[in-house]
Structure 1
Amino acid sequence: MAVHHISDINSPYLAPYQQVRDRDALGPDGRPGLFIGESAVVIGAMLRAGVDVLSILTSDRHAERAVAMVDEARGFRSHMPDPQVLLVADDILDATVGFNIHRGFLAVGRRPTQRTVREVVPPHGQDALLLVVEEINNIDNIGQLFRNAAAFGCNAVILSPGCHDPLYRKSLRVSCGCALHVPYARSDAWNADLQYLRDDEGFALLGATGGGEKTLREVAEQLARPQAQPRRIAVIMGAEFTGLCVDTLAACTARVKIPMAVGVDSLNVGVAAGVFLSRLTEQ
């Protein structure tokens, strides 16, 4: 493993980390083919997920921990090179990225190959649980949804075309790196892909909506009964205030609500997804 002690802020080793927020604002175009991981938790997830991590940037104070992170993950990376460890003084670290890195670690990795909806859906004949996400463009919510998907054993996450990038630095941090471990695909034909999941792959499409005809408890109890066919469920979540679009609701096998107290008509999408997935997986 190469460890570099860097004292020059203009070092080419630091180029991928220059002005992180400005490049984040450009989305994937800000650093084509690459993404930034922030925090030791996320970088550990990057290393264990088999991401091609090019380098880890941290303070001189964290040198021992940075080296240990790479060493501990080596069993997951048998055919991959170690990332370079870049060590700088705290003032150079903050000046390079453009803000105070109070979490102490950044890393640059190559983006995994984009997968299609058909590639991430488990084969026929198997039980499966999908989290299907429509037009969620809040960076925190997209991270929370991936963390929920990991916590409740979803086989994959399906994103609509307008969803935020789950590998955006803050979204990835909120997900605790789960977006690197839960398979996902971004749909490029939303209505057709919903129909494919329902008609070709045999998924029950459960649309989460405050106007649902059935409660979550009713649907969960119905799906928990013994069945001759595999239990294949896709939970569809939309933004809290706009909800699911008309065409998506029309494609659903069931429109499902979470009963709430009088005067409360919605939950944050991350909270609602957690309630849905917990109830559907506890049987």
Structure 2
Amino acid sequence: MTAPRHVIRIEDPDDPRIAAFRSIRERDLTGRENRFIAEGTVVLRMLAAAHARGGDFAAEKLLLLENRVAGLAEELAAFPPDVPVYVASASVLDAIAGFHLHRGVLALGHRQTVASPADLIDRLPASALVVMAAGISNHDNIGSIFRNAAAFGADAVIMDATSCDPLYRKALRVSVGGVLKVPYARSGSIEENLSLLLQRGFEVWALSPAGRAEVRTIAAAPRMALITGTEGSGLPSAILDRFNTARIAQAPGLDSLNAATATGIALYEIARAQGRL
């Protein structure tokens, strides 16, 4: 049986020990300088695993609804003893967060190392699958792309500087912790990042409703990269003209699939062709 974890009770929403959790939505908009809020049981479990691995992510402190503690004994035991666990009543927790927090599970994490696209690509194995995101500004989409990348065994996600931060609370939640599992880099332009991949022997495929090849016909290569663009405008014509393009067959009547959905389907096909599944 897992031993009960020592917890620290918070009675005052202005307690300085939990200041990092205060007014969560407003801080989501201003950023936290490589710190982030993980929300929900599954993401908490993923943060514990990431912390145990060492490297990119570490947990700093936890804040829980008082009636959630007993049911989280196993998850809490996965964190080292020096990570404090604070608990509060529903009214105090809502006052801290600034809205009704029905899940009642929060953690403050820290991204300890921030890799450049070049550094990340140089660490990849000889056989690799990379997802590239260009201009993805919707947090639901970026979270879903990471969830797909984790599900289908992608080795990395590389985003240009115009894509949104995957450590935004909603993106992290939608990814079901995939952001904490799949290595990623976010900087530079899509052209600069594609040049890095080409220099390192990647075969690049760009997703487009007008792609020249159907995604199921893509032949496996040792190193492959899949590019997905933003909703509406998609990828720039200069990218589509320069690289292999793939489409996903669908019934008539719709213009295209959601960016994250299309990425998931294409990733499945490529991962299967590479023998990852």
TM-score, length of structure 2 as denominator length: 0.89
Runs of 5+ unmatched residues, structure 1: 75-79, 225-229
Matches within 5 A, 1:150-189: 150-189=150-189
1:2 positional shift: 5.1
| Matching residue of 1:52 | 58
Would the alpha carbon gap of residues 123 and 93 (structure 1) be closer, same or farther in structure 2, given more than 3 Å must change? closer
| Matching residue of 1:201 | 200
1:124 positional shift: 8.0
- For the 8 Å contact 1:194–1:251, the answer to whether it is kept is no
- For the 8 Å contact 2:134–2:230, the answer to whether it is kept is yes
Equivalent position amino acid for 1:266 in 2: S
Aligned: 1:36 with 2:20 = no
The CA deviation string for residues 36-89 of structure 1, in whole angstroms up to 9 with x for no partner, is: 111011111111101321111111112223443121x25xxxxx6531111111
Would the alpha carbon gap of residues 265 and 33 (structure 1) be closer, same or farther in structure 2, given more than 3 Å must change? closer
| Matching residue of 2:101 | 101
Off by >6 Å, runs of 4+ in structure 1: none
Equivalent position amino acid for 1:264 in 2: L
Would the alpha carbon gap of residues 125 and 44 (structure 1) be closer, same or farther in structure 2, given more than 3 Å must change? closer
> What is the percentage of aligned positions where both structures have the same residue?
36
TM-score, length of structure 1 as denominator length: 0.88
- Give the aligned length: 264
| Matching residue of 1:275 | 265
Aligned: 1:232 with 2:223 = yes
Equivalent position amino acid for 1:206 in 2: W
Equivalent position amino acid for 2:37 in 1: I
- For the 8 Å contact 2:63–2:85, the answer to whether it is kept is yes
1:249 positional shift: 2.0
| Matching residue of 2:143 | 143
Runs of 5+ unmatched residues, structure 2: 52-56
Equivalent position amino acid for 2:46 in 1: A
| Matching residue of 1:113 | 113
Q: Distance in 1 between matches of 2:109 and 2:252?
A: 47
Would the alpha carbon gap of residues 13 and 67 (structure 1) be closer, same or farther in structure 2, given more than 3 Å must change? farther
The CA deviation string for residues 217-275 of structure 1, in whole angstroms up to 9 with x for no partner, is: 22x2xx24xxxxx61110000123110012322342x1111122222220011110111
**C-alpha RMSD of the superposition:** 1.8
| Matching residue of 1:227 | none
- For the 8 Å contact 1:58–1:66, the answer to whether it is kept is no
Q: Distance in 2 between matches of 1:160 and 1:125?
A: 22
Would the alpha carbon gap of residues 183 and 123 (structure 1) be closer, same or farther in structure 2, given more than 3 Å must change? closer
